[in-house]
Amino acid sequence: MAIEDYEKAGKIAREALETWSKRIKPGVKLLDIAEGVEAEIRAKGAKVAFPANISLNEQAAHYTPEHKCEKVFGEKDIVKLDVGVHVNGFIGDTALTVDLSGENGKLLEASEAGLAAAIAGMKPGVKVGEIGALVEQEIKKFGFKPIENLTGHKLEQFELHAGTEIPNIKTASSHTLQEGDVFAVEPFATNGAGRVSDGSQVEIFMLIEKRPVRLRESRRLMNYADEKFQGLPFAERWLYADFTSKLLLGSALKELMAFGVLHPYPVLSDAGKGLVSQAEKTVVIEKDGARVLTK
């Protein structure tokens, strides 16, 4: 049953998040954490729903280490670790923030409090815009801003973003929560602009649809992504085991983006270069409220 698969995926996601967030220390390689998370998920009989996101400081989302990345955590880094697991396409999505400086406790509390307020307010018939108001109010109590153009999202089988969003600010959206809906709820708090912008770096992609393309390597990559990732996001670094030429792979990625076959996920950062914290859990809407699945 779908709910059992969501529960299994949620449990594995939470376990991987807890285990590997504790290993985030100054001097540790980001790639070791990302690959450790992903290996644990596979070892427990599930699949990775998206590359482990490890976003630092002003970054909010969509950074995963490059192939053979040597970057290490610094003593002052604020680290967002975001983990996704799927079982038969049913996704558990969860995240937390680690403050290696020990100086930004209130910023972390703000996103956690926003998450708790959102979950407490979720039940059938409630408008999603009202949930956003709860998040915004809670984060502002701590003196920070919610990131207005990042949202939580509905989850469906093999769909990470299934249409309906859970905003982090008050909106006029009249969409109401329905019993049985599954959502990833993820408030972001910042001492910066409260809005993210796209960076130039892209390490994560998703196949949108198969289309005619020119290059043979592009066709091979398109078919490979369709079969292997089943419409879910993947990292460029995952491809190097089967695509040994960096030059040909780069050309294929570029052509597939140009032809609208692949959707790129640029690294997202606060537009004012402020520090960002994130808290996220996956929940199912039940008769009397929201039940956390990533626990």
Alpha-carbon distance of 291 to 282, in angstroms, equals: 8
Tell me, yes or no, if 153 is annotated catalytic.
yes
Would you give the DSSP letter of residue 66?
A: P
**b/e sequence 239-249, b meaning 16+ C-beta within 10 Å:** beeebeeeebb
Nearest Cα neighbor of 8 from 83, 82, 81, 91 is: 91
Dihedral, CA of residue 201, residue 206, residue 210 and residue 216, to nearest 10 = 50
Please give the backbone phi and psi of residue 116, each rounded to the nearest 5 degrees, phi first. -60, -40
Tell me, yes or no, if 93 is annotated catalytic.
yes
Cβ atoms of 60 and 150 closer than 8 Å: yes
Helix (H) or strand (E) holding 226: helix 216-229
Catalytic residue among 15, 99, 161, 226: 161
Catalytic residue among 7, 86, 153, 270: 153
Tell me, yes or no, if 136 is annotated catalytic.
no
3-class secondary-structure state, position 24: coil
Catalytic residue among 82, 109, 165, 236: 82
Catalytic residue among 5, 93, 165, 270: 93
Tell me, yes or no, if 86 is annotated catalytic.
no
Q: Which residues are catalytic?
A: 82, 93, 153, 161, 186, 280
